[in-house]
Amino acid sequence: MAKLWGGRFTKDTNKLVDEFTASISFDQKLAFEDIQGSLAHVQMLGECDIITTDEAETIQAGLEKILEKLKNGEVEFLVEHEDIHMNLENLLIEEIGPVAGKLHTGRSRNDQVATDMHLYLRNKTKTIIELIEKAQGAIIGQAKDNIETILPGYTHLQRAQPVSFAHHILAYFWMLERDKERLEDSLKRINILPLGAGALAGTTFPIDRTRVAELLEFDSVYPNSMDAVSDRDFILEFLSTASILMVHLSRLSEELVIWSSQEFQFIELDDSFCTGSSIMPQKKNPDVPELLRGKTGRVFGDLVGLLTVLKGLPLAYNKDLQEDKEGMFDTVDTLEGSLTLLAPMLETMTVNHKKMRSAVTHDYSNATDIADYLATKGLPFRQAHEVIGKIVLHAIENGKYLLDLEMEEYKKFSTLFEEDVYDYLEPEHVVGARKSEGGTAPDQIKQQLELAEGKL
Ligand code: ARG
């Protein structure tokens, strides 16, 4: 089939080359953005008298027609037409005849495709921000119900100090908040218009880029045409933000997997968010958080893939840049899928207060508090730490926890101990005493919740 750029060629393209270089199988995702960009471009061409108003209107009507057909699924894309831009231009020719050829005046596929990508990512970034907020809402819901729920807090995955479950889960709220901020900030750089850069050097036609920016609601235009057509930083930025976001989802997922194990039983995921085993009838597997954790790999891969594509590319456009798309689409789909599941999974999860509470009473995670107790009574903290270390060892050797030790046992280690030490050891006291700003005491959590709700 004759190519729209076929003038200087004496042979048809090898079919293998057609197949190898075509991007239509994936860049058809940009069809709406491509038409949106073309509509603005052609309006500007008309307004600047580069083509006649009649021609502009005919082309716009043709594009609207194609849009309609696209929505009705009546459009067929062909590999011979290489990519979404050529496919749509061919469809436009079928629709309105040779005048369609005027659409590409003062434009190149290089600034066109970059514009499509900016439009696409602008939309998707906004969608993803909304989905993050839904997940944050679910976290807040669980936090509100669990201010008084106490579980061991861990360091090195060893029980460290008791914390409120609300406090623990809210840590993820703030991770997601930073992800959201990064995405919001990236919109500044996404929202710059490449169109009007031409192939690389600008155009001889008296175009009005600012008008196109206005029509497409961009904040500004790229000041350098060569940068405009070869910049993919905005996609890299999206992929790196997405990678960090996936790290957060993966860490949370890992906790959900651990917590729902027989060994922990801190939470139970709803049946509707788990799957069974084809051989072991008793199994209820946390497939959803596992898959969330697993999908992190492909997002990292998409980032590293594009970094590698861009590294060492000379200015300006190179066909390598066509490789910017599949990874980006894949990451968008992965984030949308992952975040959409996260909110209802968290909302329907059951928190096992009893198991968490009992874990806290069967450990030594209150040891810091009696060290603090002795320090308050005047013993230097370093010495207090030493004394309590010995007490913990004594308790372990005698198969007891700190609350089980008799007063005379305590007195053997330090005469500063009095009856009130038992109050200090209660998990509620331990948690409640951490009133420092950002600490796990209930009052602090309430303030934190207020702050968090203010962000939504
Ligand atoms: N399909 C191409 C891409 O995605 C569009 C730009 C083609 N430009 C060119 N000079 N061949 O990068």
Nearest CA to ligand 1 atom 11: 319
Structure tokens at 317: 């456009």
**How many residues in total does the chain contain?**
456
CA distance 147 to 350: 15
pLDDT at 1: 62
Q: Show Cβ contacts of residue 95 under 8 Å, excluding neighbours closer than 6 positions.
A: 62, 65, 66
| Domain's final residue, options 320, 355, 390 | 355
Q: Are residues 333 and 387 located together in one domain of the fold?
A: no
CA distance 453 to 97: 56
Task: State the CATH number of the domain containing residue 78.
Answer: 1.10.275.10
Q: Is 322 in the pocket of ligand 1 (CB under 6 A)?
A: yes
Q: Are residues 271 and 171 located together in one domain of the fold?
A: yes
- Map tokens 């950002």 to a residue: 438
pLDDT at 283: 83
Q: Are residues 350 and 381 located together in one domain of the fold?
A: no
**In angstroms, what is the span from residue 110 Cα to ligand 1's centroid?**
6
Instruction: Check if 38 is active-site.
Output: no
Rounded to 10 degrees, the C-alpha dihedral 385/390/392/393 comes to 140
| Domain's final residue, options 324, 355, 386 | 355
Q: Show Cβ contacts of residue 281 under 8 Å, excluding neighbours closer than 6 positions.
A: none
Q: Are residues 122 and 34 located together in one domain of the fold?
A: no
Options 156, 272, 278, 436, the catalytic residue: 156
Asked whether the beta carbons of 33 and 193 are under 8 A apart, the reply is no
pLDDT at 276: 86
Q: Are residues 397 and 344 located together in one domain of the fold?
A: no
Q: Which residues of 201-232 are buried (b: 16+ CB within 10 A; e: fewer)?
A: ebbeeebebebbbebbebeebbeebbbbbbbb
Please state whether the predicted TM-score (pTM) of the whole model is above 0.85. Answer: yes
**In angstroms, what is the span from residue 67 Cα to ligand 1's centroid?**
22
Residue-wise pLDDT tens digits, 114-144: 999 999 999 999 999 999 999 999 999 999 9
Other CB atoms within 10 Å distance of the CB of residue 125: 21
Q: Is 110 in the pocket of ligand 1 (CB under 6 A)?
A: yes
Nearest CA to ligand 1 atom 1: 83
Half-sphere CA count of 355, side-chain side, radius 13 A = 13
Task: Provide the residue range defining the domain that includes 114.
Answer: 110-355
CA distance 71 to 91: 15
Q: Which residues pair with 221 in a beta bridge?
A: 193
CA distance 434 to 369: 10
Task: Report the domain count for the chain.
Answer: 3
**In angstroms, what is the span from residue 82 Cα to ligand 1's centroid?**
9
Q: Which residues of 146-177 are buried (b: 16+ CB within 10 A; e: fewer)?
A: bbebbbbbeeeeebbbbbbbbbbbbebbbbbb
* Longest Cα–Cα distance in the chain: 101
Q: Which residues of the chain have pLDDT under 70?
A: 1
Options 220, 277, 358, 362, the catalytic residue: 277
Task: State the CATH number of the domain containing residue 283.
Answer: 1.20.200.10
Instruction: Check if 156 is active-site.
Output: yes
Q: Are residues 327 and 238 located together in one domain of the fold?
A: yes
CA 343 to chain centre: 14
Q: Is 321 in the pocket of ligand 1 (CB under 6 A)?
A: yes
| Domain's final residue, options 302, 333, 355 | 355
Q: Which of 5, 18, 34, 83 to mutate to test the pocket of ligand 1 (most atoms within 8 A of CB)?
A: 83
Q: Are residues 147 and 96 located together in one domain of the fold?
A: no
Q: Are residues 123 and 99 located together in one domain of the fold?
A: no
**In angstroms, what is the span from residue 99 Cα to ligand 1's centroid?**
23
Q: Is residue 8 part of a domain?
A: no
Q: Which of 4, 17, 319 to mutate to test the pocket of ligand 1 (most atoms within 8 A of CB)?
A: 319
Q: Is residue 6 part of a domain?
A: no
**In angstroms, what is the span from residue 237 Cα to ligand 1's centroid?**
21
